[in-house]
A and B are shown apart, each in its own frame.
Chain A
């Protein structure tokens, strides 16, 4: 089956620890995106990447970092510098040059204790 996978579904961390969220896609999509969703709010863009080894900051990049070493993978690290990291994190991908439709993974719910 083609799709986007995110792991784990639920993640708990202690305050002050860095944590890396996984995002993998086998859709052969060029572009990948990370969003953060808080209760009652829309999705806010953290980082995005159009091609391997290149990525750009989104609207709320502070306290986060990413890498894009492979086309299929776009991991997100939530660092200890992120003031309020507890949220639902969604990864998405899009076929560059195609429609603007984004395909979302199932999400990771991060809780920092």
Chain B
């Protein structure tokens, strides 16, 4: 079935360093969604990308959707301790609004 691969599984950074997580699919994605889950919390929607080559920014976060719509990335500039958590990508194009989640990237930020 549809699989979404996300790398890396873990990322440890010093505060102020940049961070990137990547999401890849073997098939074309209708759209890609990104969620953040704080430790002990629940996933919270960040953004949805729909168009080929789309780039969206939210303050220090930059989201990209590949030209072939088979990959996506989330880049955080100058990480802060508030950025800690698990970042998930999800294929939002399956039937009935079902999401297929990547495994997530756990981000740790050392002050």
Contact = CB atoms under 8 A, between A and B. Distances in A.
Given A41-B103, A42-B104, A103 B45 contact: yes
A94 to B, nearest CB: 5
A29 to B, nearest CB: 10
Given A31-B96, A43-B101, A94-B97, A100 B42 contact: no
Classify chain B: how many residues form its interface, as a range.
Answer: 20 to 34
B96 A43 contact: no
Contacts of A90: 42-43
Interface string A93-113: 010100111111111000000
B66 to A, nearest CB: 19
A58 B31 CA distance: 20
B97 A31 contact: yes
A79 interface: no
B88 to A, nearest CB: 6
B97 A96 contact: yes
A107 B102 CA distance: 19
B99 interface: yes
20 contacts: A31-B96, A40-B9, A41-B103, A42-B6, A42-B101, A42-B102, A43-B99, A44-B101, A45-B98, A45-B99, A50-B97, A56-B96, A101-B33, A102-B45, A103-B45, A104-B42, A104-B43, A106-B41, A107-B41, A107-B42
